C-alpha cells in the first residue's frame, strides 16, 4: 500500500507550508516529549532530588539525539493501550541507566499539554509572520491606489465614490485587529509546567518531603527550560481548555477577515474592476476557454468557512471537561488543533499571494463611475441651485423626477444614463453644460477625504506595526499551488 491508497489530508498535500506541517508532525511531538522528560529530570537534579544523577541526565540527552523507534513504540502501545507509557518504554531502551527516572512523578498530561503549548507557541510565530506580510502587501497596494476613485457600494448598490486604496484600508484594519488578538493570546500563553495528577503537585510534595517551595521551583524551572517565562498558576490534570477557545477565536477571526476580502474581490472581478493574480498559462474553465475565474479567492472563501466553524468544537470541549479532567478532550484536540493552525496558514498564504498580485482595471472603474456619477452629483447640483436663489424643496422634487426617469431608461431600455441631458433641457433649472461636465471631470471630488484618510491611516496605524515587526517583513513564503 502506498500513499495513493489511503486518504491524504489536502491541508497537507495542497495548501500549507512544510514549516507548519512539521510542527504538528509525529517527530516534532515525540521529540518534544523527550525534551519534557529531560527538563523534568534536570529540574529535579538541580533541586537536589537524590534519585536523579548527572550521569542519568547526560544519558537522557545523548539518547534524545537518537531516532525514535516507532515500531517498538507502536507495538508497546498495542500491548498496554497507553501512548505516553509506550514512548517512556521506547525512550528507556536508549538509556538503560536513566530509564527508571523517566517521567518521575509525572502524569501523561505533563508531556501532552506542555507539548501542545510548545506547538501552539511555534505555530503562532508562523501565523504572525503571514499576517504581518499580508498587512504589508495590502498597505503597499493601498498607498499606490489611495487616490483612484471608484464607486462605493452600500446594500451592494452603487453609492458615493470611495477610492481603491481607501477600500483596502478596511481589510488592513480587520487584520490589525486580528494581530491584536494574536498578541493577546501570546501574552497569556504559558507552560503547563508540572502540576501532577489533579493539579495539586502531590507526587512532588512526596518527592521533596513536603517542601512546597521546592515544588514551586520545580514547576518554574521546567517551564523555563521548555522556553516559557511562567506556567499557568493553577490547573487540574490539564491546563484549562478555556485557553484553547480563546486561541481558536483569535485564529478564526483571521478567517472572518480573509473571507470578507475574498468575497469583495470576487464581486469586483464580476464588475471587471479588479482581479486576483492570473497566471499566463492558467486555465479558468475546462469548458469555457475565455473564463478567468477567481479560483484563489474561492478557495480562500472555502477554507475560511471551515476555519470560522472551528471555535464551537473548542468551546464544547472546554464546556464538557468534568472536574479535574476527562479524556473526551483528547481525540478531538488531536484533530482540531492542527486543523486550526494549518487552515490559518493556508488562508494567510492565499491572502498574501493574492494581495501581492492584484490587477486594477482603471478604464472599467472610470466606465462604472461615468454611468453612476450623474446620480452622485445631484447633491452638488442641488446646492448650486440653492446658491443661485432657487427653492431647495422645489429643486429637490424636480431632480428626483428626472433621476427616476433616467433610471428607467437605464434599466428598461438598456441605454446610457441621460440624467444630465434631462436636467439641461429643463428650463426651470437653467443649468449649463460646462458646469455639469466639470462636476464629473474629477470623480475623486465626490470621494470626500478618502485619499487623506488612507495616507493618515497608513502613516499613523500601519507603519508603526510594520516597523515593530520589521524583522518579519519579506520573510513569509506566499507561493501557492494554483
Residue bearing the bigger pLDDT, 350 or 414 = 350
Which of the four pLDDT bands, split at 50, 70 and 90, describes residue 287? Answer: very low
Q: What is the pLDDT of residue 4?
A: 78
The pLDDT tens digits for 405-453 are 999 998 899 888 899 999 999 999 988 888 888 887 788 888 989 999 9
**Cβ contact 417:410 at 8 Å:** yes
CA quadruple 324, 329, 334, 338: dihedral positive or negative?
negative
Q: What is the pLDDT of residues 127-176, one digit of tens each?
A: 999 999 999 999 999 999 999 999 999 999 888 899 999 999 999 999 99
Closest CA to 337 of 260, 243, 235: 243
Question: Quick one: angle between helices 108-144 and 26-46, nearest 10?
Answer: 120
pLDDT digits (tens, 9 = 90+) for 292-345: 788 999 999 999 999 999 999 999 999 999 999 999 999 999 999 999 999 999
Least confident interval from 236-240, 391-395, 443-447:
443-447
Q: Cell numbers of 393, please? A: 424643496
- Catalytic residue of the set 155, 156, 187, 233: 155
Query: Which three-class secondary structure state does DSSP give residue 359?
Result: strand
Judged against a pLDDT cut of 80, whether residue 262 lies above it is answered with yes
Q: Is the pLDDT of residue 281 over 70?
A: no
For the four alpha carbons of 440, 443, 449 and 452, in that order, the dihedral sign comes to negative
Nearest to 101 by CA among 33, 153, 37: 37
The 8 Å CB, 24+ separation contacts for 428-435 are: 428/398, 429/385, 429/390, 429/395, 429/398, 430/388, 431/381, 431/385, 435/384
Q: How confident is the model at residue 482 (pLDDT cuts 50, 70, 90)?
A: low
The closest of 305, 303, 325, 328 to 316, measured between CA atoms, is 328
- Cα angle, residue 370 at apex, residues 368 and 374 outer, rounded to 5°: 120
Question: What confidence score (pLDDT) does residue 289 get?
Answer: 43
Q: Is it the case that residue 240 has pLDDT exceeding 90?
A: yes
State the CB neighbour count (10 A cutoff) for residue 268.
24
Q: Which of 15, 14, 482 is nearest to 280 (CA)?
A: 482
3-state DSSP assignment of residue 68: coil
Active site residue 318: no
> CA 232, CA 12: separation in Å to the nearest integer?
32
Whether residue 285 lies in the annotated active site? yes
Whether 223 has a pLDDT exceeding 80, the answer reads yes
Domain residue limits, the chain: 1-138+173-360
pLDDT for 373 equals: 84
Catalytic residue among 13, 285, 302, 470: 285
Strand 274-275 with 359-360, pairing: antiparallel
Return the pLDDT at 279: 63
Q: Does the pLDDT of residue 288 top 80, yes or no?
A: no
Q: What does the alpha-carbon distance between residue 50 and residue 46 come to, in Å, rounded to a whole number? A: 10
Rounded to an integer, what distance in angstroms lies between the CA atom of residue 437 and that of residue 272? 25
Percent residues over pLDDT 90 in the chain: 82
- Model pTM score: 0.92
Q: What is the pLDDT of residue 2?
A: 66
pLDDT in tens, 41-68: 999 999 999 999 999 999 999 999 999 9
C-alpha 306/C-alpha 286 separation (Å) is 27
- CA-to-CA distance for 240 and 476, rounded, in angstroms? 32
Question: Long-range contacts of range 409-412, CB-CB < 8 Å, 24 or more positions apart?
Answer: 410/371
Question: In this model, does residue 81 exceed pLDDT 70?
Answer: yes
At the top level of CATH, the class of 1-138+173-360 is mainly alpha
Average model confidence (pLDDT) for the chain? 93
**Dist. CA 263–CA 99, nearest whole Å:** 56
User: Which sign, positive or negative, has the C-alpha torsion 265, 271, 273, 276?
Assistant: positive
Calculated CA dihedral for residues 408, 409, 411, 413, nearest 10 degrees: 130
- Are 306 and 264 in contact, with CB atoms under 8 Å apart? no
Amino acid at each position: 500500500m502506498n500513499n495513493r491508497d489511503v486518504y491524504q489530508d489536502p491541508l497537507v498535500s495542497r495548501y500549507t507550508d512544510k514549516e507548519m506541517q512539521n510542527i504538528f508532525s509525529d517527530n516534532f511531538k515525540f521529540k518534544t516529549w523527550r525534551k519534557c522528560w529531560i527538563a523534568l529530570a534536570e529540574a529535579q537534579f538541580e533541586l537536589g532530588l537524590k534519585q536523579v544523577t548527572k550521569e542519568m541526565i547526560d544519558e537522557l540527552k545523548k539518547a534524545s539525539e537518537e531516532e525514535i523507534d516507532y515500531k517498538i513504540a507502536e507495538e508497546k502501545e498495542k500491548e498496554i493501550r497507553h501512548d505516553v507509557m509506550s514512548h517512556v518504554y521506547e525512550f528507556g531502551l536508549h538509556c538503560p541507566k536513566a530509564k527508571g527516572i523517566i517521567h518521575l512523578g509525572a502524569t501523561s498530561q505533563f508531556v501532552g499539554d506542555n507539548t501542545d503549548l510548545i506547538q501552539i507557541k511555534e505555530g503562532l510565530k508562523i501565523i504572525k509572520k503571514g499576517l504581518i506580510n499580508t498587512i504589508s502587501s495590502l498597505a503597499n497596494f493601498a498607498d499606490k491606489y489611495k487616490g483612484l476613485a471608484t464607486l462605493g457600494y452600500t446594500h451592494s448598490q452603487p453609492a458615493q465614490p470611495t477610492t481603491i486604496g481607501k477600500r483596502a484600508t478596511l481589510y488592513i484594519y480587520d487584520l490589525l485587529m486580528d494581530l491584536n488578538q494574536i498578541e493577546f493570546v501570546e501574552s497569556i500563553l504559558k507552560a503547563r509546567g508540572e502540576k501532577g495528577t489533579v493539579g495539586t503537585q502531590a507526587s512532588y510534595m512526596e518527592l521533596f518531603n513536603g517542601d512546597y517551595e521546592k515544588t514551586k521551583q520545580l514547576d518554574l524551572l521546567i517551564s523555563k527550560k521548555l522556553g516559557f517565562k511562567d506556567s499557568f498558576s493553577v490547573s487540574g490534570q490539564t491546563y484549562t481548555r478555556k485557553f484553547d477557545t480563546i486561541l481558536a477565536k483569535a485564529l478564526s477571526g483571521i478567517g472572518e477577515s480573509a473571507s470578507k476580502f475574498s468575497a469583495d474581490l470576487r464581486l469586483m472581478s464580476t464588475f471587471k474592476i479588479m482581479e486576483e493574480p492570473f497566471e499566463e498559462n492558467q486555465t479558468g474553465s475546462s469548458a469555457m476557454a475565455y473564463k478567468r475565474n477567481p479560483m484563489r479567492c474561492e478557495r480562500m472563501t472555502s477554507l475560511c468557512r471551515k476555519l470560522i466553524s472551528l471555535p464551537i468544537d473548542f468551546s464544547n470541549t472546554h464546556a464538557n471537561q468534568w472536574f479535574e479532567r476527562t479524556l473526551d478532550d483528547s481525540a478531538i484536540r488531536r484533530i482540531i488543533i492542527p486543523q486550526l493552525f494549518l487552515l490559518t496558514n493556508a488562508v494567510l498564504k492565499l491572502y498574501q499571494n493574492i494581495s501581492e498580485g492584484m490587477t486594477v482595471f482603471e478604464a472599467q472603474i472610470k466606465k462604472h463611475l461615468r454611468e453612476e456619477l450623474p446620480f452622485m452629483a445631484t447633491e452638488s447640483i442641488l446646492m448650486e441651485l440653492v446658491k443661485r436663489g432657487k427653492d431647495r424643496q422645489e429643486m429637490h422634487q424636480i431632480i428626483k423626477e428626472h433621476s427616476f426617469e433616467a433610471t428607467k431608461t437605464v434599466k428598461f431600455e438598456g441605454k446610457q444614463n441621460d440624467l444630465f441631458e434631462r436636467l439641461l433641457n429643463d428650463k426651470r433649472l437653467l443649468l449649463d453644460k460646462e458646469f455639469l461636465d466639470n462636476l464629473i471631470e474629477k470623480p475623486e471630488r465626490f470621494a470626500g477625504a478618502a485619499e487623506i484618510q488612507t495616507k493618515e491611516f497608513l502613516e499613523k496605524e500601519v507603519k508603526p506595526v510594520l516597523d515593530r515587526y520589521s524583522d518579519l517583513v519579506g520573510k513569509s513564503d506566499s507561493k501557492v499551488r494554483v
